[in-house]
Amino acid sequence: MVTPLLDEDTLDLKGCEKLVNHLIGGGVHGLFILGTTGEGPSLKQSLQLELVKYVCSEVGGRIPVLVGIMDASFKEAVNIAAKAEEYGAYAVVIAPPFFYQISQDELYSFTSRLIREIFLPVYLYNNPGLTKVSFEVETVEKLIQDPQVIGIKDSSADMFYFNRLLKLTVPSEMPLLMGPEELLMEALLIGGTGGVPGGGNVFPELFVEIYELATAGKLEEARNLQKKIMKVSETFYSGSGYGSSNVINGIKCALKHLDICNDYLAQPLKKASPEKEKKIHQFLAGS
Amino acid sequence: MVTPLLDEDTLDLKGCEKLVNHLIGGGVHGLFILGTTGEGPSLKQSLQLELVKYVCSEVGGRIPVLVGIMDASFKEAVNIAAKAEEYGAYAVVIAPPFFYQISQDELYSFTSRLIREIFLPVYLYNNPGLTKVSFEVETVEKLIQDPQVIGIKDSSADMFYFNRLLKLTVPSEMPLLMGPEELLMEALLIGGTGGVPGGGNVFPELFVEIYELATAGKLEEARNLQKKIMKVSETFYSGSGYGSSNVINGIKCALKHLDICNDYLAQPLKKASPEKEKKIHQFLAGS
Amino acid sequence: MVTPLLDEDTLDLKGCEKLVNHLIGGGVHGLFILGTTGEGPSLKQSLQLELVKYVCSEVGGRIPVLVGIMDASFKEAVNIAAKAEEYGAYAVVIAPPFFYQISQDELYSFTSRLIREIFLPVYLYNNPGLTKVSFEVETVEKLIQDPQVIGIKDSSADMFYFNRLLKLTVPSEMPLLMGPEELLMEALLIGGTGGVPGGGNVFPELFVEIYELATAGKLEEARNLQKKIMKVSETFYSGSGYGSSNVINGIKCALKHLDICNDYLAQPLKKASPEKEKKIHQFLAGS
Amino acid sequence: MVTPLLDEDTLDLKGCEKLVNHLIGGGVHGLFILGTTGEGPSLKQSLQLELVKYVCSEVGGRIPVLVGIMDASFKEAVNIAAKAEEYGAYAVVIAPPFFYQISQDELYSFTSRLIREIFLPVYLYNNPGLTKVSFEVETVEKLIQDPQVIGIKDSSADMFYFNRLLKLTVPSEMPLLMGPEELLMEALLIGGTGGVPGGGNVFPELFVEIYELATAGKLEEARNLQKKIMKVSETFYSGSGYGSSNVINGIKCALKHLDICNDYLAQPLKKASPEKEKKIHQFLAGS
C-alpha cells in the first residue's frame, strides 16, 4: 500500500481511509504498509507510526496488516516494531539495514537479534537492489528455524533465487510472496504463495484474479490476464527517473485520477511528469 | 571520528573525551563526527544528538566540528541539522538519501531543499558505494552556486572524478577533502585541500605529517610516509567481513589497545576477530 | 551441447559422436553447438569449424543444428557463419561482440550488418552477464523486423525481460528459448517456446519431459520434475570457481562418468575438483 | 596507438606510417599497438598480424614496440604472440581471456601457461572494466616471480589498487604504467613509471612533458599542464555512446583533422558524431 500524503509532513487521512476500503473491497488478502512502495524509509518516524495506528484502526481486523520495518538503525527498528504491535498489526516485515555493506554473517546476526527484540510474527523482506545485501538461501534457511519467522517477501526479481527459496518454503507451507507484479503469475505457477503487487493499489481485483487463475492452473486465462498486467507495468512504471520514483508515482497518479488519494511523494521521489500523467489518465479512461 | 560506544544504546563518554583530546593533541585541523566511520546511520537519533552535544562541548571551539547528516528521511535530516546548529557545530556534511535509487534531478532537489532548511554551512558528502548515487560533477556545479555550500568530501575513491571536481573547487579555493586515507597523498599532490582519514583516529600525527609533506611538495618524504599509511591500511582494514566492518572495527580495536576508548560497534557491524586483534596489537607494539 | 575435447587443440571425435547420438536418442528437438556451454569463444577458429563440420555430418539432418557465432571481431564472425552454412547448419545464433562496452545503437548496427553478411537464418543470443550488453527489448523489436531473424535465445535469467520479450514473440509464434535450465519450466508455463538446457547434455529425457509437461499444462507433475532439475543444478553446478567453469565442468564430469566423452575443458576453464567429481558420481549412481 | 583503417578489412598504411613518425617525432618512449585503443579485439587476426609487421618494420628499432595480445582463445593468443616475436616486437602485453567469468585461480593458470608458450617478454594488462576480471594484487605477486614478466599496465582507474601495486613494483624498479591519461600525472607523482595515454596519439609532446614535469617533482607546472589534459579529455572523449567508442573516435577524429590518418573505426565502434567532430576541430584550431 502506498502512503497517501498531503505534504512531506502530513498524512492524507481521508485518502488513507478511501484506499484501505478500496483495497478491502477489491478482495485483497492483506495489507503491507510502509514497504518500499509505502515510502517507509522516507518518512519521519512519528509519521510512520501515525500511519500504522490509523490503518490498523481503519482495517479493524477485517484483513491482516503487515508493517514494513525499514530503518538503518537497530534501535529505531525495534521501536517501530513495538509500536506496530501495540497498534494491532498482524506481523512485521523486516528488511536488512541498508546503509553499510554487510556480510551474511552480519546480516544473520542483525536479523536474528532484531527478531529477538520483536514480539510480532516476522516476514523476511529481500530487496537487494535497494538494501545492497541479499538474504542468501543459506541465511534464510537458518533464520526460518525460528518459528517467529512466518513468511518471506522476495523483491529481488531473481527467479533462480526464488526457485531455490521454494525448496525451503514449500515443504512447510510457509508463505513465499513475490514482490514485482510482473512476475506474480509465474511465481504462483511454480509454487509461490502470493504477491505484494504495487499495482494492486489501483487494481486490486486484477491481481486477485491472476492469483485465482494461476493457483487454479488455468494457464490460458492467466496468460491472457498477464498481458494486461504487463500493459499496466509499461504504462504506469515508465518514466524519465529511476525505478523507485517511476513505480510509486505511477501508482499515486492513478489513485489521484480515481479520486482515491493525493499524489504527493515524499522527498527524494517525485510526482509523475505531465506526460506520464496524461498517459495514465488515458489508460484509466479506456480501461 | 569513530563514535565510542559502551553498547548499542550508550555512548562511551570517557572514551569520547579521551579521543577528542587525542585528536586535537595530534594536530588535526577539524573533527568530522557521525560520518560513515562514525556509524551515524546505525545510531538512534537521540544517541546521535547526545554525541553532537558532547563533542561540541568538549572541543569548546578549539577546532571546527563537522556533523554528518545521514538519514534516509528528509525531515529527520532537517531535525538533526537543527540540533547540530544549536549545539555549536561548525558545519554539517550531508549525504544523499540512501534507500531509493534516485536520479541526479531527484538528488539535486533533495539536496537543495535540505540546504534551504538548514542554517549551518554545508559540505557535500559523496559516497556512492554506500548511497548508490553519486553527486555527478554537473550536480555539484549547480549546488555550489549556493554560498552556503562551503566544501566537498569525496569518498568515491574515483580519482578521475576527483580530478574533475578539482576544476570546480580550485579556482574558488573551496575545500575538497579526500575520504580514503590511502589516496590522501595523491589528492593533495594534485591540488586537493585535505582529507578525512579514518586512521587519523589512531595516528593523527601521521596524517597531519603527510598533509604537510604533500602540500609542501616534498615528494620523496611523502612517498616514504605513504608506505606506512599503506601498511596501516593492510593491517587495520583487512578481515573476513565487508569493508564497512573491517575499516571501523580495525580503528576501534586499535583505540582500545591504546586505552583510548571501547571497541563496541553498533549493529550491524562487528568487532575485529581475535586474529585481527592480534595483528593490530603486534603492529601497535612495534610501531 | 558441450564440445568434447582431448586437449586444448584436439576434438574428442569419438566423444562427439557418442554425445550427438545420446542427445538425439534422448529426444531433443535440436542441437546448439559452440555456445557458452560449448566453449566456443575459447576454441581457436579452425577447431570450431572442425566441430561444426563433424556434428553436421554426424547428425545428418535428423534434427536441426544451430551454431553459435561468438567472436569479438566482425570479420571472423562472418567467416565462421559462412562455413556453418557450407557444412549444413540449420541456423546461426549470434551474440553481441563482447570486448568493448557498446550502446544499443552500436549493438543494432553491428548485429544488423552481421545478419546482412550471413545467409543462414539467425537466432539472437542474449547473455549480458558475459557480453556486458543486453539486447534491449526495443533493439530486439527492430532486429526481428528482418525475416532472417527466426528466434531468440535468452540467457539473461531476467524473467522481467523475458516477459517483455514474450509480447514480441508470441503473436508471431517466433521461438523464444530459455537459457538457464532452472527457469525452463516457468518460461514454458508463461508462454516461452523451449530451452537450451546445459544439463540436457547429460539428461536429455529429463528436459524433454519437463517440456512436455509444462506445455501440456500439467502443473503438479511439472513442479515435481522441477525438483529434480533443481537437484541437478545444485549438484552439478556448484563449486569453488565462478559460474562459467562450474556449469561446464559439472556437465563434462558427468558425461565422462557416463562414458560418453572426455572431461577436458579448454583454457581458461577448469575440470571439476575431485570433491565435486565424487558428488556427481554419487548422484549418477543413485539416479 | 590507434589502428588506422580504411575500412573493416584494410589498414590505412599511409596513415600508419605518418602516425608512427608523428609519435616518434613527439618523443614517445615506446609504442603499444593492438591494445584497447588499438581496437585489437575487433580486428580479424590476419589484419592484426599485418599491422604488427608493418609497424615493427616502420619503427625499425628506434623505440620498442609492444603488442597487445587480446583474444578469448588461448591458442589464438599464442599464435599472435609467436608472430609478434617473428616480426621484431619488443614485448607483448597480455590481457585476461574476456568472455567467461573466471576466478583468480583460473586467471593465474591461463596467464602463466600463456607466458610459458610465449618467448617475448611480457607485460600484464589489467583492464577489468572490459575483461570482467582484475589481476588481483596477490595474483600479480605470483606472476611477476617469473622474470619473463617485465612490466604491468593498469587501466583499472582504481588508484587504491595502483597504490598496492606500487608496493610490488617499486622495490624491483619494474615498470608500472597508467592507462587512463587523466590519472597519469598522479600515477607518476606517487611513484608510477609511465603511462599509455590514448591522447598521446594526437599530442605526444603533451604527455612527454607531463611525464618530465611529474618525474622531476615540478608540482605547480605539472598541475597547470594537467588542466590541459583534462580539457582534452572533456573535449575528445565525451559523446553519446559508451566510453569505448567515445575515446577512440575522438582520437581518430583529431588525427584525421591533423591529416595524419583516416577516422574509420572497426565494428562495433562508431565514428565521432558531426557535433563532436566540430568541437574537436575547434579545439585543434585554437590549440
**Chain B residue whose CA is closest to A245:** B102
Distance, CA of D88 to CA of D85 (rounded, Å): 5
Residue in the block written with cell 507510526: A49
Tell me whether residues A159 and C183 touch, CB distance under 8 A. Answer: yes
3-state DSSP helix/strand/coil % of chain D, to nearest 5: 55, 10, 35
For residue D182, being part of any structural domain is answered with yes
Q: Is the pLDDT of residue B45 over 90?
A: yes
Split into its structural domains, chain D has a count of 1
Query: CB distance from C158 to chain D under 8 Å?
Result: no
Nearest by CB: B186 against D157, D159, D182: D159
Nearest by CB: A183 against C157, C159, C167: C159
Chains that touch A (3 or more CB pairs under 8 A): B, C
Tell me whether residues B73 and A42 touch, CB distance under 8 A. Answer: yes
Tell me whether residues D103 and C74 touch, CB distance under 8 A. Answer: no
Q: Is the pLDDT of residue C240 over 80?
A: no
Q: Which chain A residues contact residue C227 at CB under 8 A?
A: 167
**Chain B residue whose CA is closest to A107:** B268
How confident is residue C241, by pLDDT bands cut at 50, 70 and 90?
Answer: low
Cβ burial of C286 (10 Å; 0-12, 13-18, 19+) is: exposed
How many residue pairs from chains A and C have C-beta atoms closer than 8 A? 53
Taking only residues 109 to 138 of chain D, the set having a beta carbon closer than 8 angstroms to any beta carbon of chain C reads: 109-110, 113, 129-130, 132
DSSP letter string over chain C? Answer: ----EEETTEE-HHHHHHHHHHHHHTT-S-EEESSTTTTGGGS-HHHHHHHHHHHHHHHTTSS-EEEEE--SSHHHHHHHHHHHHHHT-SEEEEPPP-SS---HHHHHHHHHHHHHT--S-EEEEE-HHHHS----HHHHHHHTTSTTEEEEEE-S--HHHHHHHHHHHHHHT--EEESSGGGHHHHHHTT--EE--GGGGT-HHHHHHHHHHHHTT-HHHHHHHHHHHHHHHHHHH-SSS-HHHHHHHHHHHHHHHTTSS-----TT--PPPHHHHHHHHHHHHH-
Tell me whether residues B159 and D223 touch, CB distance under 8 A. Answer: no
Taking only the tens place, the pLDDT of each residue in D134-163 is 999 999 999 999 999 999 999 999 999 999
- Contact between residue B181 and residue B197 where contact means Cβ atoms under 8 Å apart: yes
The residues pairing with C178 across neighbouring beta strands, listed in sequence order, are: C154, C195
How confident is residue B182, by pLDDT bands cut at 50, 70 and 90?
Answer: very high
State the average pLDDT for chain C.
96
How close is the nearest chain B Cα to the Cα of A154, in Å?
17
pLDDT at residue A240 in the model: 64
**Chain A residue whose CA is closest to C184:** A160
For residue D244, being part of any structural domain is answered with no
pLDDT at residue A238 in the model: 86
Q: Is the pLDDT of residue D244 over 80?
A: no
Nearest by CB: C268 against D9, D102, D269: D102
Distance, CA of D172 to CA of D149 (rounded, Å): 12
How close is the nearest chain C Cα to the Cα of D96, in Å?
9
How close is the nearest chain B Cα to the Cα of D186, in Å?
6
Chains that touch D (3 or more CB pairs under 8 A): B, C
Tell me whether residues A101 and B8 touch, CB distance under 8 A. Answer: no
pLDDT at residue D202 in the model: 98
pLDDT at residue A241 in the model: 59
State the average pLDDT for chain B.
96
For residue B281, being part of any structural domain is answered with no
Nearest by CB: A219 against C167, C185, C217: C217
For residue D279, being part of any structural domain is answered with no
Query: CB distance from A182 to chain C under 8 Å?
Result: yes
Taking only the tens place, the pLDDT of each residue in B122-168 is 999 999 999 999 999 999 999 999 999 999 999 999 999 999 999 99
Query: CB distance from C68 to chain D under 8 Å?
Result: no
Query: CB distance from A271 to chain B under 8 Å?
Result: no
pLDDT at residue C239 in the model: 77
Q: Is the pLDDT of residue D239 over 90?
A: no
Q: Which chain C residues contact residue A223 at CB under 8 A?
A: 190-191
pLDDT at residue A137 in the model: 97
**Chain C residue whose CA is closest to D47:** C75
pLDDT at residue B245 in the model: 85
pLDDT at residue C98 in the model: 95
Do the two chains C and B touch, given a threshold of 8 Å on CB pairs and at least 3 pairs? no
Distance, CA of D34 to CA of D92 (rounded, Å): 10
Of B242-246, B251-255, D92-96, give the lowest mean pLDDT range: B242-246
For residue D249, being part of any structural domain is answered with no
For residue B233, being part of any structural domain is answered with no
Taking only the tens place, the pLDDT of each residue in D182-211 is 999 999 999 999 999 999 999 999 999 999
pLDDT by 10s per residue, chain A, length 287: 999 999 999 999 999 999 999 999 999 999 999 999 999 999 999 999 999 999 999 999 999 999 999 999 999 999 999 999 999 999 999 999 999 999 999 999 999 999 999 999 999 999 999 999 999 999 999 999 999 999 999 999 999 999 999 999 999 999 999 999 999 999 999 999 999 999 999 999 999 999 999 999 999 999 999 999 999 999 999 876 567 789 999 999 999 999 999 999 999 999 999 999 999 999 999 86
How close is the nearest chain B Cα to the Cα of A89, in Å?
23
How confident is residue B277, by pLDDT bands cut at 50, 70 and 90?
Answer: very high
How confident is residue B239, by pLDDT bands cut at 50, 70 and 90?
Answer: confident
Q: Where are the beta strands (DSSP E) in chain A?
A: 5-7, 10-11, 31-33, 65-69, 91-94, 122-126, 149-154, 176-178, 194-195
Cβ burial of B105 (10 Å; 0-12, 13-18, 19+) is: middle
Tell me whether residues C100 and D240 touch, CB distance under 8 A. Answer: no
The CATH number for A69's domain is 3.20.20.70
Q: What is the mean pLDDT of residues D63-79?
A: 97
Provide the domain limits for residue B188. 5-203
Beta-carbon neighbour count of residue B4 at 10 Å? 26
Q: Is the pLDDT of residue D105 over 90?
A: yes
- Contact between residue A229 and residue A223 where contact means Cβ atoms under 8 Å apart: no
For residue B176, being part of any structural domain is answered with yes
Query: CB distance from D9 to chain C under 8 Å?
Result: yes
For residue D265, being part of any structural domain is answered with no
Q: B219-236 vs B243-257: helix axis angle to the nearest 10?
A: 100
Q: Which chain A residues contact residue B44 at CB under 8 A?
A: 73, 75-76, 79
Distance, CA of C87 to CA of C70 (rounded, Å): 18
Q: Is the pLDDT of residue C203 over 80?
A: yes
pLDDT at residue D242 in the model: 61
Q: Find all residues with CB under 8 Å of B60, minimum gap 6, and list them.
A: none
Q: Which chain B residues contact residue D227 at CB under 8 A?
A: 167
Radius of gyration for the alpha carbons in chain A, expressed in angstroms and rounded? 18
pTM (predicted TM-score): 0.96
Do the two chains A and C touch, given a threshold of 8 Å on CB pairs and at least 3 pairs? yes
Q: Is the pLDDT of residue B244 over 80?
A: no
- Is the backbone of residue C64 left (phi > 0), alpha (psi -120 to 50) or beta? beta
pLDDT at residue D95 in the model: 97
ipTM: 0.95
Chains that touch B (3 or more CB pairs under 8 A): A, D
Chains that touch C (3 or more CB pairs under 8 A): A, D
pLDDT at residue C287 in the model: 59
Q: What angle do CA C17, C23, C24 make, to 5 degrees?
A: 90
Which grid coordinates belong to B59? 572541543
How close is the nearest chain D Cα to the Cα of C72, in Å?
6
Do the two chains D and B touch, given a threshold of 8 Å on CB pairs and at least 3 pairs? yes
